[in-house]
Amino acid sequence: MSSEGSTGSIALGINPYGLTYTLGLQGAGTPRANPDGSGLDGFIEIAAGIGAASIEIFSPWLTELGTAGRAGVKARLADLGIAPIVSAGLSEGIDDPLQNAIDLDARTMRFGLSPILCGDRNAFGAARFAELIIEIRAGLGALAPRAADHDVTVAVENHQDFGSAELLAFAEEAGDNVGLTLDTANPFPVAESPLSFARAVAHRVRHVHLKDYRAQFTDEGYRLVRCALGDGVVPFREVLGILLATGQNFTSSLELAALEARHVRLLTPDWWNGYPPKDARALAEVFAAARPNLIPENEDYRTPWERGEDGELIAYEIDQLQRSAAFLRSLELFA
């Protein structure tokens, strides 16, 4: 259901990125990979098990299946009543992800723009970052009209790389069928708060990643550490209320964070290279928003993956998934 006084709706789905060890994505091609990873078949079973209305599918899985394999996935999802969303990135190009979306009759493509993490443009390099902007504009410019011809919405994600104003500019330049995927926790890596980010972009959001973090303050900034949704810093009811108030209908994916903590070193001068000046009041809002459920500075923040305790990982991922799904259902905001 939607919140009182709002006219929009949000359908609850799931994506694979918080289940990377269980599915065989974590450590792929290394000795630490899970040899029994369940892949796409297992992921669809998990989605059905939590009653997901949609499923966000890793595009390379679909590319590997070929045309006949994608037809089988489409039929299976139709039988389960689960809507497909294709999850891709600019690094894959546009041909394969778009064909995957067309073959599944997916109406939305979640699209990542860069490999930057932790908001660290400085580590990426100024020259490479300038080239990246050109590549993004060209890629979206080529993808948008082709996707529109097949009634596919391209939803670019705030993947720890770009701020709200930058993403809106990309979308508005690319065209009406380019919107945003709002990751609820990823404003923190680019020094924005979840609420200010949501208010800025709500009118352009088409898909939502429901993700949470706990923060741990450090001498250089803060770490963002994976947790079950509801145990961290994201004010889900308020963020979703902002989206619902637009009157739009959204798909969403429950997404547990990565098995590696993200260290946002925004207290170091070099981290700010490539960013415009920031109002001190806005930065204060970010630090205040990071304080709920804070991890003490002397507490071990590491996940089982970071501790090398791989035998615990499947139980760890599934437990957090189940607790997160229960938390989201308790909000009573989903169609």
19 vs 313: CA distance, rounded Å: 9
Check residue 7 and give its pLDDT.
75
Residue 327's closest CA among 227, 250, 242, 226? 227
The pLDDT-based confidence of 2 (bands split at 50, 70, 90) is very low
Cβ neighbours around 134 below 10 Å, total? 9
Backbone angles phi, psi at 307, to 5 degrees: -85, -5
Alpha carbon of residue 95 to chain centroid = 22
6 has a pLDDT exceeding 60: no
The pLDDT-based confidence of 8 (bands split at 50, 70, 90) is confident
Average pLDDT, the chain: 96
Average pLDDT estimate for 12-34 = 96
Q: Report how many domains make up the chain.
A: 1
12 vs 307: CA distance, rounded Å: 32
For 275-293, the pLDDT digits (tens) are 999 999 999 999 999 999 9
Check residue 271 and give its pLDDT.
97
The pLDDT-based confidence of 321 (bands split at 50, 70, 90) is very high
Average pLDDT estimate for 159-174 = 98
The pLDDT-based confidence of 4 (bands split at 50, 70, 90) is very low
Q: Is residue 3 part of a domain?
A: no
Residue 90's closest CA among 48, 133, 47, 120? 133
Check residue 335 and give its pLDDT.
79
9 has a pLDDT exceeding 60: yes
Average pLDDT estimate for 141-154 = 98
Q: Is residue 335 part of a domain?
A: no
Q: Is residue 146 part of a domain?
A: yes
Check residue 1 and give its pLDDT.
41
DSSP β-bridge partners for residue 207: 181, 251
Q: Is residue 26 part of a domain?
A: yes
Average pLDDT estimate for 157-165 = 98
Residue 63's closest CA among 92, 100, 94? 100
DSSP-assigned states of every residue in 81-107: T-EEEEEEEGGG-SHHHHHHHHHHT-S
Average pLDDT estimate for 53-62 = 97
For 192-220, the pLDDT digits (tens) are 999 999 999 999 999 999 999 999 999 99
Residue 230's closest CA among 331, 324, 332? 324
Q: Is the pTM of this model over 0.75?
A: yes
Query: What CATH number is associated with residue 229?
Result: 3.20.20.150
Q: Is residue 123 part of a domain?
A: yes
Q: Is residue 1 part of a domain?
A: no
Average pLDDT estimate for 9-26 = 97
| Range of the structural domain that residue 153 is part of | 9-330
47 has a pLDDT exceeding 70: yes
222 has a pLDDT exceeding 60: yes
Q: Is residue 179 part of a domain?
A: yes
Q: Is residue 4 part of a domain?
A: no
